[in-house]
Structure formats: structure tokens, C-alpha cells
Chains A and B, each alone.
Chain A
């Protein structure tokens, strides 16, 4: 039984990793050689493929993706933390209503408003910039919900009371007392928002027309698309998009897992 378990675990883990392995192996081939045999072992063309990728606008696109993800994280953290703090730690008229409101907002799929959103972006004059794919994260219902849950458990009410008695201002309390306590929650949410905006495909696909503003997923699906598609170079670009995120994740996996589950288990 135990042996079987190990075999299964290892097998599934290999299956989880195999596509990544293929991605890296394929990025080391000369495109036409990919289809001549079974490319299971690395070849020696990686450098050339990387050159092809960097000859295109890869770095700028990488920068775009970073700007989008980092700004989205900052904005999402900002609004979610504030409303989370308000609902979790204050008693005020309309609190229940707000709480239900947040839960309801979670249920509305983003696609429902997609067309309206695009038209709205045009009206405010940011139709073809990075803004539309950043603004969606400004009001991130799941984030708000997550912060409510997290603060409710993690921040002791007594501590807040003490601070108030000591004469701290409310923003001061939030900045100096609450923020340090909820760091793990912030880190988790930051990771999640980062990943989701980094990987987002649909919204950039329908909002961004200008190759100057492409994000990575869009860029890769357009890379070398005319008449001869360089699959190997695409794979190299994909590897460069994915691997850093994976490494980042592995480094910070402890906080990520902790926070990720903290929200879900309670929810």
C-alpha cells in the first residue's frame, strides 16, 4: 500500500512537471528539427532561439507585464485592505449591507461587463493603453473578501482598543499596528493578484491593439506568426515567461500556501 502510494505520488508529480520539461527541451531545438524526430533530449539551439526572441520586443513586453502586475497588486492591496479593515474591525451602520455587497460582487463574472468595460475605457480616453488591464484589479471582490476574513482572525480587537486609548489616529493604527500583523495576508494576496494579472489572456486580447502595449501572453501568441511559425522561439519565450514566476513562487511558497488556504478554509 505504502509503495503504491509513493509510486502514484511520484508519477503524478512527474506528470505535473513533464510539460515544463518539454517546454525547456523544445526551446533548445532548431525549429525545423522539432518535427523530424521525437524531441525528448535537449539540443543545442537555445542560444539562437533566445536571440530570435530578444530581437523582437520581448524586453519591452516583459516590462509592460511587470508594470501591469505590480501596479495591479498595489491598487488591489490598497482598496482591499481598507475595506477589509473597515468591515472586519468596525461597527457601523451599513456594515452588514457592505459585507453582503462584497459577497455579491464576488459572484458577478467579469465577462458580464466586458463589453461595457471596453466602451467605458474608450470614453475616458484610455482605450488602447495598459490602464484597462490595470483598472480591473482596483476593485477586486475576492481580495476584499479575503482581507475581511483574514483581518477578522488575525488582528486582535484588544490591541486596537489599546492603541485608540493611547490616542493613535485611525490611519495611524492601520499603518503602524494592523499592517505589520497582516503581512502574511498581504503577501498572499499580492502573489495571487500578481499571478492572475500576469497570466491574464482574455482582457488584454480584447483591449490592447498596439504591439507597444502587449503583455506577455499576447505577445507570445503573436510571436513569429507570419507564414513560417518559429515554434522553438515561441517555446523559448514561454520558458522565459514562466520560469521566473515559478522560481519566485518556489521561493515564497510558504507564505503563499499559508495565505491561500487561510482564505479558502474559512470561506
Chain B
């Protein structure tokens, strides 16, 4: 009896605060409702409209995927490298670890403000310094160029997550038994060779974990772009220049709470994204775990 009792609080609160809203949202996604007037049942029309009549949805998905393609590999490789270097240190290991995790625990509001200040094109520090050093005639319009705007967002994500990746990788390295390294040393394996042939394979599971979770989180990207365009400066640009920074969740929030209150339609976006998340996490799992099967 006890295990059931113990499991009960979680299950009840899950049912109340997560499952019910999720199901209710599904019902909403089949209706047309602005939150104030009458609900009308429209069947799958929201989904059909979303997939056939809304180029902005595809654009937001495309933007999200592009930004993920920028930040996931960089964070992964840089995080691994950083972990590897820090792991070899005899002194200062903890210092570097702590310093680099600080961004991860900082509120996104702060990150949004600071980055939109740094990259502001007239008063931003980056441009001011570049101009002062004579590297540029006039500041570059970072946040209003389709590619640099995405790059800045990717940079924000990298900056925030790098330390977290590093710590996870280091934990993996610590988990590798020391005698493996000893044995490798005896065999004459050194530095990069050890890293390539011993450390890397042993970190495969961790990499899979990091890749899959960053795909899941990446598809839900919202805080960074939203706060970059509406944090620091007073401008209220939804989606960045020509919507190149619009992510799926931003579109969802915009449709449901900001530009519109199309609760039904927005719920359909959320559900479509859910399906996509499942799809992409399976793919990324397959791709990253595949090599292991071959071995």
C-alpha cells in the first residue's frame, strides 16, 4: 500500500496541473476561441490553416532550426574542449568550473538586457569599441541583419549553456576509471590520442544525453530572442528584423497573448510543436546513438 500512497501526491498534482491543461489545450486546439467570446468547435481547421496557410509558422520553425544548428555543435565541441582542458588542471579546476557555470544560473532577463545593450548598433559596446579601434567606419547593425541577429541569439545560448555542458562532460570524465588512463599511458598513448580513443568513446552516452536535451530545449527557444528584441531598447519588434528571429514558441506566445488572442489556433501551434519535438528528439537520439551500435 505504501508505494501507492507515496506515488499519489505526484500523480495527483501531475493530473491536476499538467495533464488536465494539456488535454484541455488539445480540446481548445480544435476550437476557435479568443478567450472572451463563445467557443466554436472547428475540428482540425486550426491545424489545416497552420500547415497550409501560415508561411510565418514555417519561417519560425526554420529560424529555430537554424539557430539550433548554430548553437548545438558549438556548445558541444567547446564544452567538451573546455572540460578536457579543465580536467587536466591540477590547480584551479574548481575555479574555472564555477566561473563558467555562472551564466547558466543567471536570469534570462539579465542576459537579454546585457546582450541587447552590447550589440545595440549605436550605443552598443561592441560597435563603440570596434569604431574606436578603427576596425569599422560606422557601427554594424547586428540586430537588424537576418544572419547576425540569429548569430547573436545563438551566441546568447552558447554563452548561457557552455558552463553547464562543461560540467556535465567533466562529470563523465571523472566517471571514467583512473586505471583506464593509467593503462593507456603504459601503452604509450598520450594527450590527444588518449582523448580521441579513450575519453571520447566513454563520453558517448553523455553526449547523447546533451544532444537530445538541447534539441528538446532548443525547439522551445523563447526567452533569449524575446528579451533581445524588447528588453533593452524601447522598440517592440516582434520576431526581429523581417521575422528572422521569430521562434516557434515566440510565435505561439504572440498568437495567444501579444498580437492576438487566438487561443485555439495557438494551442494548435503548441501541439504541432509537441509532435515536432518528439520527432526531432527521436531522430537526434537515433543519429547520435547510432555509432554505438556499429561498434
Q: How far is the CA of A206 from the CA of B250 in the complex (A)?
A: 12
Residue of B nearest to A15 (CB): B159
Q: How far is the CA of A231 from the CA of B118 in the complex (A)?
A: 13
Residue of A nearest to B29 (CB): A115
Whether B113 pairs with A238 at a CB distance below 8 angstroms is yes
Q: Which of A26, A35, A86 has the most CB of B within 10 A?
A: A86
Give the residues in chain B near A108, CB-CB below 8 Å. Answer: 18, 22, 274
Whether A113 pairs with B106 at a CB distance below 8 angstroms is no
- Looking at chain B's contact residues, the main secondary structure is helix
Which listed residue, A5, A116, A141, touches B267 by the CB 8 Å rule? A116
Q: How far is the CA of A152 from the CA of B175 in the complex (A)?
A: 17
Whether A86 pairs with B109 at a CB distance below 8 angstroms is no
A-B residue pairs in contact (CB < 8 Å), sample of 22: A9-B85, A12-B162, A13-B96, A16-B100, A16-B162, A19-B115, A19-B118, A82-B7, A82-B9, A83-B9, A85-B6, A86-B7, A108-B18, A113-B18, A116-B28, A117-B21, A135-B16, A138-B16, A202-B253, A217-B109, A221-B227, A260-B167
Sorting the interface of chain A by its residue count into under 10, 10 to 19, 20 to 34 or 35 or more gives 35 or more
Give the residues in chain A near B175, CB-CB below 8 Å. Answer: 265
Give the residues in chain B near A75, CB-CB below 8 Å. Answer: 13
**Segment at the A interface, from B51-59, B122-130, B179-187:** B122-130
Say if the beta carbon of A80 comes within 8 Å of chain B. Answer: yes
Whether A109 pairs with B3 at a CB distance below 8 angstroms is no
Interface residues of A (CB under 8 A from B): 1, 5, 8-9, 12-13, 15-17, 19-20, 22-23, 26, 34-35, 38-39, 75, 78-80, 82-83, 85-87, 90, 92, 95, 98, 105, 107-117, 119-120, 135-136, 138-139, 141, 144, 170, 174, 195, 198-199, 201-202, 205-206, 216-217, 220-221, 225, 229, 231, 234-235, 238, 241-242, 245-246, 249-250, 253, 257, 260-262, 264-265, 267
Known contacts A112-B270, A115-B28, A206-B257: does B277 contact A107 (CB below 8 Å)? yes
Which listed residue, B24, B81, B107, B278, touches A113 by the CB 8 Å rule? B24
Residue of B nearest to A228 (CB): B234
Give the residues in chain A near B82, CB-CB below 8 Å. Answer: 9, 12
Q: How far is the CA of A112 from the CA of B81 in the complex (A)?
A: 36
Whether A111 pairs with B273 at a CB distance below 8 angstroms is yes
Q: How far is the CA of A246 from the CA of B98 in the complex (A)?
A: 10
Q: How far is the CA of A154 from the CA of B129 in the complex (A)?
A: 52
Residue of B nearest to A34 (CB): B123
Q: How far is the CA of A234 from the CA of B113 in the complex (A)?
A: 9
Interface residues of B (CB under 8 A from A): 2-4, 6-11, 13-14, 16-18, 20-25, 27-28, 78, 81-82, 85-86, 88, 94, 96-103, 105-111, 113-115, 117-118, 123, 125, 128-129, 132, 159, 162-163, 167-168, 170-172, 175, 191, 205-206, 209, 216, 219-220, 222-223, 227, 231-232, 234, 249, 252-253, 256-257, 263, 266-267, 270-271, 273-274, 277-278, 281
Give the residues in chain A near B270, CB-CB below 8 Å. Answer: 109, 111-115
Q: Which of A5, A95, A136, A144 has the most CB of B within 10 A?
A: A5
Whether A23 pairs with B171 at a CB distance below 8 angstroms is no
Whether B209 pairs with A267 at a CB distance below 8 angstroms is yes
Residue of B nearest to A219 (CB): B109
Known contacts A79-B9, A92-B3, A235-B113: does B223 contact A253 (CB below 8 Å)? no
Whether A116 pairs with B7 at a CB distance below 8 angstroms is no
Q: How far is the CA of A144 from the CA of B108 in the complex (A)?
A: 25
Whether A119 pairs with B10 at a CB distance below 8 angstroms is no
Whether B111 pairs with A19 at a CB distance below 8 angstroms is yes
| Shortest distance from the beta carbon of B2 to any chain A beta carbon, whole Å | 4
Known contacts A9-B96, A87-B7, A115-B267: does B110 contact A23 (CB below 8 Å)? yes
